[in-house]
Amino acid sequence: MFSRDFAWGASTSAYQIEGGWQADGKGPSIWDTFCHEKGRVFEDQNGDVACDSYNLWEKDLECVQQLGLTHYRLSLSWARLLPDGTTQHVNERGVQYYNKVINDLLACGVSPMVTLYHFDLPQTLQDQGGWKSPGIALLFDNYAKFCFQTFGDRVKLWLTINEPNVCAKLGYEDGIHAPGLKEEGTSAYVVGHNMLRAHAMAWHSYNSLYRAKQKGAVSLTIYSDWLDPLDPGCSEDIGAAERALAFSLGWFAWPVFVSGDYPEIMRSAIDAESKRLGYSSASRLPCFSKDDPVILGTADFFALNYYTSRKVKPGGGCKQTLSMRSDKDSEEVLDSSWPICGVSWQAVVPHGLRNLLKYIKDTFSNPAVYITENGFSQVGPLHIEDVERCEFYKSTISEVDKAIQEDGVDVRGYFVWSLMDNFEWADGFGVRFGLFHVDFSDVALSRTIYQSGKEYAKIISKHKSCK
């Protein structure tokens, strides 16, 4: 049984749904630039229009209400609010848009959870070095303060950066997300470092300037798979799984929740690989200095995005070039008993979420946890009667229940990714995660509830009526 104030939510992000990429004074973001380059995204699609939530917000609100959500997680587009990324120039039309969204939600009894940054850096800031430049932390802090000041009287749950681990790796190591850089084994660590500094500055600003009056909570969202040793009796596999967890969850959770610094296992793996390849003696993983904000303790709750699980074995290294993959020296594989849903990376493993929640409780001193994303992808032919996805939500929510009741994890909320089908980054519109289907071939971009949407609404209503 879930508590009275358990948050039942669904999530979206600005670039994936809003469209209006040039509307009313919005500045370009790195995703606008990236999608407009040929060959970056599936069929050269882009988020210029996406679900057109900038114009069709009322339709989204109807979906939120139809599901009976208690919470809705959205992100703000930095470049819609501050077109050049700085507070020198505020786009009032952007402020009006988000004010309307927030006010409409509250008028319907739905609490907003707001992410400040979900992958879409203003292009102007990218041109000045973006997340690789240390100065970005101060710019982010200014943006965060602007948002707390403008919306914080009504928004009580804040997330600074969505999945810094994914953002840094896909954008700067693999080059498959904006800004599309493939600078293996180096830049992702620098970007991650600046994201942590930026996050911590924003948390401290909230803490000292806004918390007393606004009484909200601030965290950052971390993506992680559940990672088990391939052979639980094999010490090499156990070591590989520990490294893999350190490089995914630990990279950001360790500094914030445990020690103010990166997991030792991560630094020693990176430094050993540098030595092996004769790279300079300075660690590729930056060090925090006394001038940096204090990182430890800068989260009021743990925000987790969970999608799938993996079994881990040693990577079998000895590559001749630097990469995060060689640093980590682990290989993550699927268990053949796990069904795959839509995208090839996503095995359906609801019990992995329970394991991960238990791990978080034990490793990070039993924090309050919000599962800020969890979902099931669909590709190929459209199935509005998405029976497998219905089963997926039922069994995942039952695993969350067990984590709370049997393992004593302090889970405060569960958010489905996503409210509706949307622009799935490099996969464009080819991958659907919605509780509502959006017909992108229809000029009206009509929203139709999936069977799984109805199922989720039923689950929510059942738990609400038990209060």
- Residue numbers at the binding site for ligand BGC (CB under 6 A): 13, 16, 162-163, 166, 223, 305, 373, 417, 424, 433
Nearer Cβ to ligand BGC, position 189 or 376? Answer: 376
Nearer Cβ to ligand BGC, position 74 or 105? Answer: 74
Neighbour-count burial of 226, counting CB atoms closer than 10 A to its CB (0-12 exposed, 13-18 middle, 19+ buried):
buried
CB of 11 to ligand BGC, least distance (A): 8
Nearer Cβ to ligand BGC, position 75 or 214? Answer: 75
Place of tokens 């049997």: 406
Concerning whether 58 is annotated as a catalytic residue, the answer is no
Q: Which of 173, 184, 373, 399 is the catalytic position?
A: 373
Cα–Cα distance measured from residue 438 to residue 49, given in angstroms and rounded to the nearest whole number: 12
255 preceded by cis ω (within 30°)? Answer: no
Both tokens assigned to 186: 């180096």
With beta carbons less than 8 A apart as the criterion, state whether 148 and 205 touch: yes
Place of tokens 């969850």: 249
Angle of helix 235-245 relative to helix 264-276, nearest 10 degrees, comes to 100
Q: Which of 18, 163, 173, 455 is the catalytic position?
A: 163
User: Which residues 6+ apart lie within 8 Å of 102 measured at CB?
Assistant: 112, 114, 151, 154, 155
CB of 436 to ligand BGC, least distance (A): 15
Nearer Cβ to ligand BGC, position 224 or 326? Answer: 224
With beta carbons less than 8 A apart as the criterion, state whether 438 and 421 touch: yes
Count how many residues are written for the chain.
467
Nearer Cβ to ligand BGC, position 98 or 376? Answer: 376
CB of 162 to ligand BGC, least distance (A): 5
- Where would I find the H helices in 386-450? 387-405
Concerning whether 406 is annotated as a catalytic residue, the answer is no
CB of 209 to ligand BGC, least distance (A): 28
The neighbour count for residue 179, using CB atoms within 10 Å, is: 18
With beta carbons less than 8 A apart as the criterion, state whether 55 and 17 touch: no
CB of 223 to ligand BGC, least distance (A): 5
In our burial notation (b when 16+ CB lie closer than 10 A, e otherwise), range 316-328 reads eeebeebbbbbbb
Distance set, CA 5 to CA 220, 413, 455, 456, 467 (Å): 21, 9, 20, 17, 9
Nearer Cβ to ligand BGC, position 240 or 253? Answer: 253
- Where would I find the H helices in 285-379? 324-328, 350-363
Q: Is the dihedral of CA 172, 175, 176, 180 positive or negative?
A: positive
With beta carbons less than 8 A apart as the criterion, state whether 361 and 272 touch: no
With beta carbons less than 8 A apart as the criterion, state whether 136 and 129 touch: yes
Nearer Cβ to ligand BGC, position 95 or 357? Answer: 357
CB of 307 to ligand BGC, least distance (A): 6
Cα 459-463-467 angle, rounded to 5 deg: 165
Nearer Cβ to ligand BGC, position 424 or 455? Answer: 424
Nearer Cβ to ligand BGC, position 12 or 126? Answer: 12
In our burial notation (b when 16+ CB lie closer than 10 A, e otherwise), range 363-401 reads bbeebbbbbbbbbbbbeeeeeeebeebbebbbebbebbb
CB of 287 to ligand BGC, least distance (A): 28
CB of 13 to ligand BGC, least distance (A): 5
With beta carbons less than 8 A apart as the criterion, state whether 396 and 350 touch: yes
CB of 172 to ligand BGC, least distance (A): 16
- Nearest C-alpha neighbor of 207 from the set 303, 300, 288, 73: 300
Task: Identify the H or E element spanning 200.
Answer: helix 187-205
Kindly list the catalytic residues: 163, 373
